[in-house]
Amino acid sequence: MTSSMICILIAVIVYLAGMLAIGFRYSNNNTSEDFYLGGRKLGPIVTAMSTEASDMSAYLLMGVPGLAFFCGVAEASWTAIGLSVGTYLNWLIVAKRLRRYSAATKSITVPDFLSTRFRDNTKLIEILGAITIIVFFVPYTASGFSACGKLFNSLFGFDYMTSMIISAAVIVTYCALGGFMAASVTSLIQSIVMTVALIIVLFFGINKAGGWSVVAENAKAIPGYLSFVTSTDINATEAVKGSFGFMPIVSTLAWGFGYFGMPHVLVHFMAVESEEKLDVSRRVGSIWCIVSLAVAVVIGIVGYSVAKAGVIAMPDSEPVAENMIVNISAVLAEIGVFPAIVAGIIIAGILAATMSTADAQLLGAASGVTYNLINNVFGVKLDDKKNMLFARLTVIVVAIFGVIFASNPNSSIFRVVSFAWAGFGATFGPVMLFSLFWKRCNKWGAIAGMFSGAVMIFIWKFLVKPLGGFFSIYELFPAFVISCIVIVVVSLCTKAPDEEIVREFEAVNA
């Protein structure tokens, strides 16, 4: 291993050690609320940045740049726009109401809130919620582990599976020890590291490509590469692949709907110290999201010129293109000791993007199994010590399944994340909005909406979407719409909510 690689490895090890230290620092959780919600004591800045960092997984520094690099700006940019709008609306219309409502119902998880909100004595909401969390968090977490494996494999030549297991072990350790508070504080730090990494890669990439004018000329030379309405890739010569028209645009913008149903994002709204502080969180979080996604798309465009200049290899597929930032970091490290340390910061940024999401997802899975299923559904009453023990064991088990799921190094991070994102968005998104804004919504509408949304994701993805044409739209959009329709129809066709539920709704939203 060269001296530059050793410098990068040292920087990464120091970063990982710091994350573990934070886990030990916050390992004195005394109650379930401490472990799952940090005792509802998050400040506005920590809330903002930990929320956004837990959302921006490896697709920010690998998935989005890789997609823009290989396929041009259309899909990556419309996705970024959808995510930015969804982020802002989630902060604007959901955050305060959910914080207020969840505190009033003393809920500490998303399924717990929905079940209490609708007084669901059947426990079906918690069962559906917990199953959804487990089913979709495994591939989502797996995408993060896969990013770590690809990172160490491509940069240091380490074995993919070994690298992935070590990375997962670090995440599991600080997450299981420190719970939500450790995950939030590490996410704050990770968001800073991610920001620094994006800035360094952007400017270094432009420099190695020969300047911004060269980047622009190279991008213009590929038919449709800079078009927002064209489907193409870097191998296109005389003709583009096809139109990126109205339906594909709607499809990618639909990513924004997913925010209303992301358990690992929504739980941060529930954990903030007071709803008044969410105004600051909204501004900080939204600005960071918009800027970071825009920079990620631009980095992808720059990456093509860096490859065309022969600085890094030209990829032959989208999954290979996702390693662009890793490859640029390797080039930077060869310049000298200080640049190698800077390259280590970039690699730490990729790890940060992965870890900040994976830890939030692991905690979400732990709460779904331990709090919602074992405690509330099966009625096994555990004291706080045993509750947290089971939660920590769940974190380990989910991580193991995630590693198994990610055993294929050739899978696309962007595509895996998109499916899990759709699953959460369609299952929890519509029912969350109706629970906060429509007092006529009842438990039967909520149950039917959650079930139809989850099922439709699989039906559309594997049965309808292969038909092509109009049906090739992103599965989140039709599943979200169908879930909304089902919630309204079933709620109106069944008994109205009890007076107690209505009074609580009116009091919370007064």
Average pLDDT over residues 174-188: 72
For residue 503, what are the CA distances in angstroms to 432, 438, 443, 496, 500? 18, 13, 16, 13, 5
Top-ranked range on mean pLDDT: pick from 196-205, 312-321, 490-499: 490-499
What does the angle CA 455 – CA 457 – CA 458 come to, to the nearest 5 degrees? Answer: 70
DSSP string, 290-347: HHHHHHHHHHHHHHHHHHHTTSSPPPSSHHHHTTHHHHHHHHHHTS-HHHHHHHHHHH
| Secondary structure percentages of the chain, helix, strand, coil, to 5 | 80, 0, 20
**Token pair belonging to 461:** 């993805």
Q: Is pLDDT of 95 > 90?
A: yes
The residues, any chain, with a CB within 8 Å of residue 369's CB and separated by 6 or more, are 130, 134, 390, 391, 394, 398
Quick one: pLDDT at residue 462?
93
- Rounded to whole angstroms, the Cα distance separating 383 from 405 reads 33
The residues, any chain, with a CB within 8 Å of residue 111's CB and separated by 6 or more, are 125, 126, 128, 129, 130, 133, 368, 372
Q: Which residue has the higher pLDDT, 83 or 185?
A: 83
Q: What is the pLDDT of residues 259-282, one digit of tens each?
A: 999 988 898 899 888 888 899 999
Q: Are 125 and 111 in contact (CB under 8 A)?
A: yes
Q: What is the pLDDT of residues 20-68, one digit of tens each?
A: 787 777 766 656 666 666 667 778 888 888 888 777 766 788 888 999 9
Quick one: pLDDT at residue 335?
87
Q: Are 416 and 98 in contact (CB under 8 A)?
A: no
Q: What is the pLDDT of residues 337-361, one digit of tens each?
A: 888 888 888 888 877 777 767 777 7
Average pLDDT over residues 89-105: 94
Supply the pTM of this predicted model: 0.86
Query: At residue 72, what are phi and psi to the nearest 5 degrees?
Result: 85, -175
Q: What percent of the chain has pLDDT over 90?
A: 41
**Token pair belonging to 353:** 């993007």
Calculate the dihedral angle through the C-alpha atoms of 31, 37, 43, 48, rounding to the nearest 10 degrees.
Answer: 160
Q: Are 267 and 42 in contact (CB under 8 A)?
A: no
Q: What is the pLDDT of residues 139-154, one digit of tens each?
A: 777 777 887 887 788 7
Q: Is pLDDT of 443 > 90?
A: yes
Q: Which SS3 state, helix, strand or coil, does residue 273 take?
A: coil
Instruction: With residue 231 as reference, give the H or E element that holds it.
Output: strand 230-231
What does the angle CA 61 – CA 414 – CA 79 come to, to the nearest 5 degrees? Answer: 85
Q: How confident is the model at residue 456 (pLDDT cuts 50, 70, 90)?
A: very high
Query: Where do we find the tokens 């350790």?
Result: 173
What does the angle CA 434 – CA 437 – CA 439 come to, to the nearest 5 degrees? Answer: 85
Overall size of the chain counted in residues? 510
Q: How confident is the model at residue 237 (pLDDT cuts 50, 70, 90)?
A: low
Mean residue pLDDT across the chain: 86
- Rounded to whole angstroms, the Cα distance separating 379 from 367 reads 15
Q: Which SS3 state, helix, strand or coil, does residue 379 take?
A: coil
Q: What percent of the chain has pLDDT over 70?
A: 92
Quick one: 149 exposed, middle or buried, by C-beta within 10 A (0-12, 13-18, 19+)? buried
Q: Is pLDDT of 229 > 80?
A: yes
Query: Where do we find the tokens 């280590």?
Result: 344
Q: Where are the alpha helices (DSSP H) in 210-277?
A: 212-221, 246-253, 263-271
What does the angle CA 161 – CA 166 – CA 168 come to, to the nearest 5 degrees? Answer: 95
